[in-house]
Structure 1
Amino acid sequence: MTSASRTTEGSSIAHARWGSSVPWASRLQPQNLLWLLLAAILVVLILAPMSTLVIASFTDAQTGNWTLSNYAEAYGRARHVTALTNTLKMGAAVVALKLLFGVPLAWACTRTDMPGKNLVRYGVFGAFIMPPYLGGVGWILLAGPNTGWINRAWFWLTGATEPLVNVFTFWGLVLVTAIGGFFLVFVFVSSAFEMINSEMEDAANILGAGPVKTALKITFPLVLPAILGSALLSFLGAIALYGVPALIAIPARFPVVVIQLSEFFSFPLRVEVAAAYSVPLLLITVGLLGLQRLILRRKGYTSLTGKGGERRLVKLGRWRWAMFAYCFAVVALAVLLPFVVLLLAAFNRSWTAGFSIDNFTLRNFHYALFEHSSSQHALVASVGIGIAAATLAILLALCIAYIVQRRVLPFGQVLAFLAVSPYVIPGIVLAIGFYAAYALPPLALYGTYTILVLAVATRFLPIAFTTAVAGMRSIHPEMEDAVRILGGGRLSVIRSVVGPLLKRTLAGGWLLIFVLAAQELSTAIFLVGPNTRVVSVVLLDLSEEGRMEVLAALGTLLLLMIVAVVAIGVRYLGRDFMLRRS
């Protein structure tokens, strides 16, 4: 059967099932109701929090009437407006720095003969594994103005009284935020570089274009959609990140949106004002998406092959090692330096005293595991939430992908849009939407693991959905038809055909989501209760208490847990499973 005939047949079946001539009794079969239920779940997870957020921003907390007073209170003070403008300025600077880090590394690892490519790739994956707030703690230990190890070495070597570096500044905040998230740029752009056929560059060279002109006119315009997409997501991630600003922006006296939102959630609680303060972030997101589409529509660069062709590496010559030195410097800033200083602090009685035999101790790990009131419980909770959220996201995404790809419902593309929409909703806005929709009566889910699992699963649903869709496209529909001819229903098809064939693909997506969910802070910070604390929140509490040694020990345990999960992925799914699934 040809592809065209299958498409026509599938459309006829869909029309026969959902057309006006089909009785409602035939439509309301148990399996059809199940697909409708799954669709309803997706709508509830995404539309309900966002619509509740917008409605709450226009609702008076006392009377329940429509009002604009929440917006007046949210933006009626100069400090609140300054926090918004600071956030936009910080986001733009972070995007520029992420592109400066990620694009050259992606080009060097995919298009050149640079040595040490595997080392750089593992370093970039290390930047993904390292939670941003742990990287921030590492840089506080390194570049604190008075007790940071870099400045202490500077004072000792030169006798100076002024610090060499100070992380508690605007550019310190930008640097730490950027090095904690350039992995996304690397993944997007390296994947695009790998799809470029060298024949297009050869044609430009034959026509007289040099390497620089070829790169500017051919290579980089072809990856412009990937660069813009990664820039958009990097901006959204930067303005919604909570951990790094909480560690650096507050001491630097640089107000940003996420810190102001946390103040709205302190006593007295002002959810409606927080909602009003969050709505402009959604409008900014919509504006950036429109700008991205406008730029891409006007440019129109594309590859006619539709797939990767022959790729010849660019010979860097004497610049090979210079390129490697740049890549290694980026990896050292993002992973090596903060991890080493965290590890040293974890084994120190006092991190300000420097590393020595007399200062060595295992007490911090013992305290974090067995004596601290929240640490042990938080580790278990983070693992449990990661497992539950990843499982829920994968199962829901598989069913939605099946509905979309097999046209089970007539509005499948709407479901597809909803499934990927959380990717462009700032995590902190999503958390406030969940709080407004489900934390208060009548559901009253605040302080439960249920709201955490639902919010985190929704946060990373786009990753699960894109993974499931990519896998579904590789399965021929005739394999499923064979099961249905033998009397099996669609659930039997998923259980007997789709699930087994996609188990490696889905396992890769599950592991990726687990890693992200176990370290999530921006969503969790507004939804945790006294008895549902997770590791990321406990680490933030320890930093506020100044207990850096215990924080470093607990953070090291979290990293070991994440590395163990990644090692499982490398063992069973290949070393680049994260790159393929992202």
Structure 2
Amino acid sequence: MPDTTIALREPGPAARRTTWFGRLRHVEPVTLLWAVLIAALLFLVAFPLLKLLAVSFETQGSGAFTLANYGTAYGRARYVEALLNSLTLGLITATIAVVLAVPMAWAVSRTDMPGKGFTWAVVLAAFVMPPYLGAVGWILLAGPNSGFLNLAWRWATGAEDPLFDVYSFAGLALVIALHSFPLVFIFVKSALDLVSSEMEDAANILGAGTWTAMRKVSLPLVWPSILGGFILVFLETIALFGTPAIIGIPARINVVTTQLWQFFEYPVRVEVAAAYAMPLLLITVGLIAAQRLVLSRKGFVSQTGKGGERRPIRLGPWRWLLFGWCAGVGLFAVALPLLVLIQASFAKAWGRGLTLDNLTLRDYRLLLFEHEMALTSVWNTIWFSGVAATLAVGLALLIAYIVARKLVPFGEALGFLAMAPFVIPGIVMAIGFYAAYAPPPLALYGTATLIILAFTARFLPIAYANSTAAMRAVHPEMEEAARILGSGRLHAIRHVTAPLVKKALLGGWLIVFIVASRELSAAVFLVGPRTRTMSVLLYDLSEAGNFEVLAAFGGILLVITMVFVGIGMKLVGRDFMLRRT
């Protein structure tokens, strides 16, 4: 009887390939997108931080486990002192910022103070001006020997001691606060806009005056926003590099960020830097958690059931005193530093003052036509920031869409990863990227790719917050109607959702571009000889001490920034940056 057994053969490569593609064809596109987004966020956020943590426990060269890096990082009194200095500086700066901003926010939101548009302009200008450029302006104003304010003080009084020494702990804190107060202003003003006048009316009926009602009713209701602004300024201060480097190093005030920079001097000790950066990350996460814990135990309600009316409080003659406060903040935060920078940029020698024989275009000619890196750094800044903004907004929009439409299980995990860089100081993020992607096999140190990726991760929370707000404003019924008529999901997104959110996305793109173009804390650790940005070149010029060239280059950066701010105001709205920050 013949053998009828049929031999089963393994499918050939072509058949296996067909089977694989057949299975892939049945996978929902949104599931693939979810997987791609998870991979992108792990690459941008999770892996650099995990690598930073791992490197902090590795021996240089061998990679063996060790705790010696932490012993080195905190084994010297100077290193511990730098950490304490940062914490003290953060507390003092945040306190000054609250004192400056809260009266301004209350005046703009609740009173009949004149010049509210002017006050908004002051806040926007202080926000737009890079902090390290403002620091240079204050060196020219309040340097102990040749600062203009101190020279005028000596001329007027005959005193030998300076009126104000910017090279001091108080000077450093004040200069940082003058460029940080807009963060508190935005938080508090937005909260005060929601407080009904009925609350203050009730206090007035019970005998409270205007100032008592403000102190005991209005401000307690916005206490969460004041606390949030305080914590944000504190965290920004302890993570700031430019101003502490420009003012603090000559003043011999060592802080965490400048100490981290010293660990990157030859020979680079990235393992010690990683260990030294860990407390900065823990402090940041701890403060955010503490804020949520404190506020969760107390209720803050400012809305009435029938929609309260808001009326401006009439201050009488006091409104001019309040306007004087706002104008004074604008004078010291914006006008004086900007004027002295303009003067220095056109001066042969800035200390000789503004005279005809001292005027020159030499510095601008040097930067535009002769300097080896100036125009290259301008181009680097524009295209690094532009690509990073595009990647951040594109990634944020996809994540916000999936989270808002609940397209996949655990979609909130994407949103968590997208917002995680918010609690990671920029300098810590930069060291994480250095540890993860600078060594072989990728060896990306000093490349445009590494800088763009770091900028994308650093400012992804801004883009995500903006995209989330935009997606919430678009009802899903519009997409559903398009899909009922036969449109696919991607087609509906492209032709229905995208046109409705494009204005908001443009605003988010411009904000990310502007803040990336002035970023120094992350860039200074990652740039190479040919990938320097304008902010890094400005810092290099400040180390050289040539304030005339530095002021001229800072003017070029401000012009570029104001061009994009003007585009944003024209296309998105006058306060597009402050509404979305």
Report the TM-score when normalising by structure 1: 0.93
Does structure 1 residue 357 correspond to structure 2 residue 356? Answer: yes
- Give the CA deviation at 1:493: 2.5
What is the match of residue 301 of structure 2? 302
Three-state SS of the structure 1 residue aligned to 2:451 is: helix
1:148-187 equivalences under 5 Å are: 148-187=147-186
Unaligned regions of 5+ residues in structure 1, if any?
1-22
CA contact (8 A) 1:194 1:308 kept: no
CA contact (8 A) 1:236 1:425 kept: no
1:445-524 equivalences under 5 Å are: 445-524=444-523
CA contact (8 A) 1:285 1:424 kept: yes
* Change in CA separation of 1:151 and 1:306 when aligned onto 2, cut-off 3 Å: farther
CA contact (8 A) 2:445 2:528 kept: yes
What is the match of residue 224 of structure 2? 225
Inter-partner Cα distance in structure 2 for 1:68 and 1:489: 55
Rg larger in structure: 2
1:73-222 equivalences under 5 Å are: 73-222=72-221
Q: Which residue identity is paired with 1:373? A: E
1:26-65 equivalences under 5 Å are: 28-65=27-64
Inter-partner Cα distance in structure 1 for 2:26 and 2:312: 57
CA contact (8 A) 1:240 1:426 kept: yes
1:73-111 CA deviation, whole Å, 9 max, x = no partner? Answer: 000000000000000000000100110111111111111
What is the match of residue 267 of structure 1? 266
Three-state SS of the structure 1 residue aligned to 2:366 is: helix
CA contact (8 A) 1:404 1:413 kept: yes
Inter-partner Cα distance in structure 2 for 1:163 and 1:403: 59
CA contact (8 A) 1:511 1:565 kept: yes
Inter-partner Cα distance in structure 1 for 2:265 and 2:280: 21
CA contact (8 A) 2:112 2:313 kept: yes
Q: Which moved more, 1:157-166 or 1:364-373?
A: 157-166
CA contact (8 A) 1:195 1:308 kept: no
CA contact (8 A) 2:45 2:421 kept: yes
- Give the CA deviation at 1:456: 1.0
Q: Which residue identity is paired with 1:543? A: S
CA contact (8 A) 1:195 1:309 kept: no
Q: Which residue identity is paired with 1:492? A: H
Does structure 1 residue 409 correspond to structure 2 residue 408? Answer: yes
Inter-partner Cα distance in structure 2 for 1:143 and 1:516: 27
What is the match of residue 7 of structure 2? none
CA contact (8 A) 1:169 1:252 kept: yes
Q: Which residue identity is paired with 1:475? A: V
Q: Which moved more, 1:210-219 or 1:379-388?
A: 210-219
What is the match of residue 291 of structure 2? 292
- Give the CA deviation at 1:251: 0.9
CA contact (8 A) 1:539 1:555 kept: yes
- Report sequence identity in percent: 55
Does structure 1 residue 567 correspond to structure 2 residue 560? Answer: no
Q: Which residue identity is paired with 1:442? A: P
Inter-partner Cα distance in structure 2 for 1:328 and 1:110: 16
Count residues with an aligned counterpart. 560
What is the match of residue 423 of structure 2? 424
Q: Which moved more, 1:430-439 or 1:75-84?
A: 430-439
- Give the CA deviation at 1:160: 2.7
What is the match of residue 444 of structure 1? 443
Inter-partner Cα distance in structure 1 for 2:272 and 2:499: 48
Inter-partner Cα distance in structure 1 for 2:262 and 2:209: 55
- Give the CA deviation at 1:440: 1.4
Three-state SS of the structure 2 residue aligned to 1:472 is: helix
* Change in CA separation of 1:319 and 1:299 when aligned onto 2, cut-off 3 Å: same
Q: Which residue identity is paired with 1:321? A: W
Inter-partner Cα distance in structure 1 for 2:517 and 2:287: 29
Three-state SS of the structure 1 residue aligned to 2:180 is: coil
Does structure 1 residue 577 correspond to structure 2 residue 569? Answer: no
* Change in CA separation of 1:453 and 1:306 when aligned onto 2, cut-off 3 Å: farther
Q: Which moved more, 1:262-271 or 1:26-35?
A: 26-35
CA contact (8 A) 2:478 2:496 kept: yes
1:223-251 CA deviation, whole Å, 9 max, x = no partner? Answer: 11111111111111000111101111111
Inter-partner Cα distance in structure 1 for 2:69 and 2:552: 42
CA contact (8 A) 2:194 2:303 kept: no
CA contact (8 A) 1:108 1:114 kept: yes
- Give the CA deviation at 1:26: 7.5
1:249-398 equivalences under 5 Å are: 249-305=248-304, 309-398=308-397
CA contact (8 A) 2:195 2:303 kept: no
Inter-partner Cα distance in structure 1 for 2:534 and 2:354: 26
Inter-partner Cα distance in structure 1 for 2:181 and 2:354: 31
CA contact (8 A) 2:196 2:303 kept: no
Q: Which moved more, 1:160-169 or 1:328-337?
A: 160-169
CA contact (8 A) 1:116 1:324 kept: yes
Report the TM-score when normalising by structure 2: 0.94
Q: Which moved more, 1:206-215 or 1:144-153?
A: 206-215
* Change in CA separation of 1:422 and 1:308 when aligned onto 2, cut-off 3 Å: farther
CA contact (8 A) 1:394 1:464 kept: yes
Inter-partner Cα distance in structure 1 for 2:440 and 2:301: 51
Q: Which residue identity is paired with 1:560? A: V
Does structure 1 residue 556 correspond to structure 2 residue 524? Answer: no
What is the match of residue 3 of structure 1? none
Q: Which moved more, 1:210-219 or 1:231-240?
A: 210-219
Q: Which residue identity is paired with 1:443? A: L
What is the match of residue 11 of structure 1? none
Inter-partner Cα distance in structure 2 for 1:157 and 1:308: 57
CA contact (8 A) 2:418 2:461 kept: yes
Inter-partner Cα distance in structure 2 for 1:458 and 1:488: 33
Inter-partner Cα distance in structure 1 for 2:514 and 2:27: 39
Three-state SS of the structure 1 residue aligned to 2:443 is: coil
- Give the CA deviation at 1:479: 0.9
Three-state SS of the structure 1 residue aligned to 2:286 is: helix
What is the match of residue 20 of structure 1? none
Three-state SS of the structure 2 residue aligned to 1:488 is: coil
Q: Which moved more, 1:139-148 or 1:198-207?
A: 198-207
CA contact (8 A) 1:98 1:181 kept: yes
Three-state SS of the structure 1 residue aligned to 2:251 is: coil
Q: Which residue identity is paired with 2:231? A: L
- Give the CA deviation at 1:424: 1.8
- Give the CA deviation at 1:211: 3.1
Q: Which residue identity is paired with 1:261? A: L
Inter-partner Cα distance in structure 1 for 2:310 and 2:26: 52
- Give the CA deviation at 1:52: 1.1
Inter-partner Cα distance in structure 2 for 1:36 and 1:88: 40
Inter-partner Cα distance in structure 2 for 1:456 and 1:258: 18
- Give the CA deviation at 1:298: 2.5
* Change in CA separation of 1:441 and 1:490 when aligned onto 2, cut-off 3 Å: farther
Inter-partner Cα distance in structure 2 for 1:439 and 1:103: 43
* Change in CA separation of 1:557 and 1:307 when aligned onto 2, cut-off 3 Å: farther
- Give the CA deviation at 1:499: 1.1
Inter-partner Cα distance in structure 2 for 1:357 and 1:483: 67
- Give the CA deviation at 1:217: 3.3
- Give the CA deviation at 1:543: 0.9
Unaligned regions of 5+ residues in structure 2, if any?
1-21
